[in-house]
Structure 1
Amino acid sequence: MAVTRDIRDRADLDALLRRFYEAAFADPLIGPFFTEVAGTDLDTHLPRIGDFWERALFRSAEYRRDAFGPHAALDSVRPLTAAHFGRWVQLWRATIDGRHAGPLAERAKAQGERIAVAMLRRLGGAEASTDAPEGVGGSGGFVPLAALTLRSVA
């Protein structure tokens, strides 16, 4: 699909999320969290996560679930690291960039990074705040996880 327009509605979100989670489930680094640890059923998961993103981007859906709880449960079985969250962000950004361009697409990418950093910090991942490369980060201590992952590999 050629990048032709911004994210416009729930149908765009649903298609984006399906593409993203299909890639995430197949990914050798983070896929096992979905398939083996959580045993996630994609058809059950997508409407819930769609509500989350519809609320985040359009302020139009009701999302009253605890987004952190399931991640904490996963972390208690198999620790989630900056590399895992960094890969999630990398796949998220690539999926958006492959389908959409515009202000909402940019907001979705930025929001995904903010959520990943917040989750990692809440899970006790100190590297989210201490391993940032020189000059990386922004207001409020925000650190793009992709930079963390690249730095740790370099």
Structure 2
Amino acid sequence: MTKQEITDHNSIVLLVDSFYAKARKDDLIGPIFNEVIGDHWDEHLPTMYKFWGDILLNRNEYEGNPMFVHKRLNARIPLQPVHFERWKKLFVETVRELFEGDKAELAEQRAVSIATVMQLKISGYH
């Protein structure tokens, strides 16, 4: 497959769908996603398109508080550092398989940064 640059909504959809297809099958984090999201992927994925569209394309469409959502999730299913590491690994792997260029590098950097900060805040690190 030829790598492409992240340039528009279709790129975001490809990134998000590809990542979640991989994450849902993963032995470690797949069960978490499948339990929490269940049959509501048709609601979750458009939210993620908006989230990553804002981060990578400055779309200003996402409305939400991912930290609140993940803290609430952590109260239900304790998230461990290993979960965040796997998430980062799969996300970066997906970006590298499909994309190249400045926005691809930004996607990797932001994913690692967001996951790291979220992990620290959820664990109570100040």
**Which TM bucket (shorter chain)?**
over 0.9
Distance 1:102 1:40, change over 3 A: farther
Distance 1:70 1:117, change over 3 A: same
Cα distance per residue 1:37-95 (max 9 Å; x no partner): 44362221111011011111111132121111221122111211111001000000111
> Residue 81 of structure 1 contacts residue 125 of structure 1 at CA under 8 Å; is this kept in 2?
no
RMSD of aligned residue pairs (Cα, Å): 1.6
Q: Please give the TM-score of this superposition, normalised by the length of structure 2.
A: 0.92
Q: Does 1:99 align with 2:69?
A: no
Q: How many residues align?
A: 126
Q: Which one has the bigger helix percentage?
A: 2
- What percent of counterpart residues are identical? 34
Q: Which structure has the larger Rg?
A: 1
2:46 aligns with: 47
Distance 1:42 1:123, change over 3 A: same
Stretches of 4+ aligned residues off by more than 4 angstroms? none
1:85 aligns with: 84
* Pairwise CA distance, 1:15: 1.2
| CA distance in structure 2 between the aligned counterparts of 1:98 and 1:45, rounded to whole angstroms | 23
In the alignment, structure 2 segments of 5+ residues that lack a partner are none
Q: How does 1:1-150 map onto structure 2 within 5 Å? A: 1-3=1-3, 5-39=4-38, 41-124=40-123
| CA distance in structure 1 between the aligned counterparts of 2:10 and 2:63, rounded to whole angstroms | 21
